[in-house]
Amino acid sequence: MAPIFSGLLMIIITIPLLFAAVQPWMWTLYAALIIVLYIFHTWGETKHSPAPAGSGNRRMFLFSAGLFYAYALLQCLPLPASLLGMLSPYRRHLLDSSEQLLNQPAAFQSISYVPAASFSWWIFLLSLWLFFLLLKGRLTRREHLMTLVVAICGISLIQALYGLMQALVPTMGVLWVDYITVYLGDARGTFINRNHFAGFIEMTWPMWLALIFIMGPDGGMSSGRDKTYSSRFKTYLSSHRSGYLFFCIIGLLFVLLALLFSRSRAGIAGGLVGGVSFVILAHLGGRRFSGLTWGLIGAGMIFLAIYGNAIGFDKMMGRLVYIDESAGNRMDIWKNTIDIARDHPLGTGLRTFESVMPAYNTLGPVNIKYKHAHNDYLELLAETGWIGFMALTVGFYLFLGQSILRIKRFGPSLPALPFFTGIGACSGLISMAFHGFFDFNLQIPANCIYFIVLITILYVCLRQWPDQGAAAGARINKEKMTVS
């Protein structure tokens, strides 16, 4: 296995294990490791074939990402007072007030309220872009893509089993941290916060579905062959792959149980959204499920319905806007976050919400220090302003929409591995996009990495694999014409 891919795989496997790398020194270490891998790739790696020329859509995605990175960096730079007054009048007003209070002239200041913190997180986000560039060049090899899928499923199973132990033994903490008493009795793995654990599971559990369909008889699809499905299934059960399939089904059940026992309302709802998305995307791509597959899906839906009825779907959905009894209502935080965005149309800088929010907390409990907005979209808007918000969200949703169109276009001709892996990644992204309205999973470094991993998988499976297939077909046709 190539050293670069081994390094990337090591990052993917280890980053969720130590509290999801939420400590600054931890995510800084991972950012440095990614940068080192990229430097090694640039200077010492064997040459790869050049990437196909970028289409209009690819150039648009590059423009969106480039605009976001450029503007987020601009927020960290010291600016003259006159220019700062034009870009962020409210920030300039506060600086003028402090200048009068301290009787000291304010020197060059940045748009960001905490430029050091903003720049540190910008470096981490830049490392995610480098991570994407490194990973996408290696997933066109079948063995690398399959290894990555197995690794994702393996680490999610480890997290799920640990989470189930925490649910069964309510006094069990997270690793060696026993002094954290919140979420005792809930499945949370090594994430401490059950909602972030649920976000990780909802992103990764569709990859278990992908693995099951890749390994199943006829990929779990109906077939028009003369041989009956029952006889094909009996033949499959006698093969060596049946044991692997059974293990995958059991593993998937454990992962789903851990998601349910996390008791994360938005996480459970997001997981359900991801499952429905997987079924819809499979049919959109021209794959028809067999009767047995529909039976298993129906059994799973019945199980979820029984569980949901036991805990009360109305209570679960009605409490989506609450954090917990002590921290108050999410909608109050959202209203205050909108006030921040209104006063700072160009943003307050990455990772500044915790510093700015106390001055705007007029609706929530005064003794609570909110570190995040509990809404990834609003926090992005408040911190990066309309420029950063539009660049990132519009770019992502255009990418998602184009990917769904490519599933419909190329799905019928794609092999099982890239097809099911691609729709599994797309389903995980849809889940996280839904969950982002109620939490801040993308402020957690481990979930950030896995979000980028899914984007990379989706990009490779629906763009590079079809491009390779088209290139191979053109080459074969050219050879036939030459022979003739």
Does residue 481 carry a pLDDT above 50?
A: no
On average, the pLDDT of the chain sits at: 83
Q: Are 112 and 349 in contact (CB under 8 A)?
A: yes
Q: How far is CA 468 from the centre of its chain?
A: 26
pLDDT at residue 398, rounded to an integer: 93
Please tell me the least confidently modeled range out of 2-6, 50-54, 109-113.
50-54
| Alpha-carbon span 37 to 31, nearest angstrom | 10
Region 179-196: mean pLDDT is 86
**Average pLDDT of the residues in 280-308:** 73
3-state secondary structure 308-368: HHHHCHHHHHHCCCEEECCCEEHHHHHHHHHHHHHHCCCCCCCCCHHHHHHHCCCCCCCCC
The model's pLDDT over 26-44, given as tens digits with 9 standing for 90+, comes to 999 999 999 999 999 888 6
What CA–CA distance (Å, rounded) separates 293 from 249? 12
Q: State the helix-helix crossing angle for 445-459 and 194-215, rounded to 10 degrees.
A: 30
Q: What is the pLDDT of residues 188-227, one digit of tens each?
A: 999 989 999 999 999 999 999 999 888 765 554 544 444 5
Coil vs helix vs strand at 77: coil
Spatial separation of the C-alpha atoms in residues 187 and 191, rounded to whole Å? 10
Which of 24, 15, 11, 12 lies closest to 121 in space, CA to CA? 24
First and final C-alpha spacing in the chain:
41
> Does the pLDDT of residue 471 top 80, yes or no?
no
Note the pTM of the prediction, 2 decimals.
Answer: 0.88
Q: What angle do CA 392, 394, 399 make, to 5 degrees?
A: 95
The type of residue at 272 is: L
